[in-house]
Amino acid sequence: MRHVHEENIEEELLFCRSLKSHTKGADIFFKVDEFFTTAGLQWENCIGVCTDGAGAMMGKRAGFVAKVKEHATSESVTFTHCIIHREALAAKHMSFDLDTVLRDVIKIINYIKNNALNSLLFTNL
C-alpha cells in the first residue's frame, strides 16, 4: 500500500491473510474488504489498484477489479498491471541474442551470490 504521511509517500505491506479454500476474485475481495472494515478504511479513499492480470483479479463480473469498482465510489480509481509481470510478459518475446546475453548474466550473478567469498571479492572489486 502506498500512502501519504507527513508530505512523504510511504509504501508498506497492507496486510497478509490466507484464503482458506478458493482464490476467486470475490473471495479475494471479501478478504480485503473484511480487513478494510476492521481497520476502519473506506473504499472511497482507494485511488489505484495494481494486479497481476490473473483471471481471478481481472474478471468482468466477479473479479477483484469488478468488486472494487462496485465499492469504490470514486470514478478516478486506476487499475494497473504489476511491473514485475510486465517484465515477464516482455521477456517472452525477447530476441534470441538478448535472451542469450541475459541468461549468461544471470549465471554470472548466481555464481557470485552463491558463495560468500565470491560476493565479498566482487564487492571489493
Structural domain boundaries of the chain? 2-93, 95-125
pLDDT at 87: 66
> What's the mean pLDDT in 80-107?
78
Q: What DSSP designation does 62 have?
A: T
Instruction: Classify 28 as helix, strand or coil.
Output: helix
Give the residue with greater pLDDT, 6 vs 71: 6
Least confident of 20-34, 45-59, 81-95: 81-95
Which runs of E-coded beta strand occur in 1-125? 2-5, 8-11, 48-51, 78-81
State the burial class of residue 31 (Cβ atoms within 10 Å of its Cβ: 0-12, 13-18, 19+): middle
Q: Kindly report the backbone phi and psi dihedral angles of residue 79, in degrees, each rounded to the nearest multiple of 5, phi listed first.
A: -120, 125
- pLDDT tens-digit series, residues 66-85: 888 888 876 778 887 776 66
66-102 burial, b at 16+ Cβ within 10 Å, e below that, comes to bbbbeebeeeebeeeeeeeeeeeeeeeeeeeeeeeee
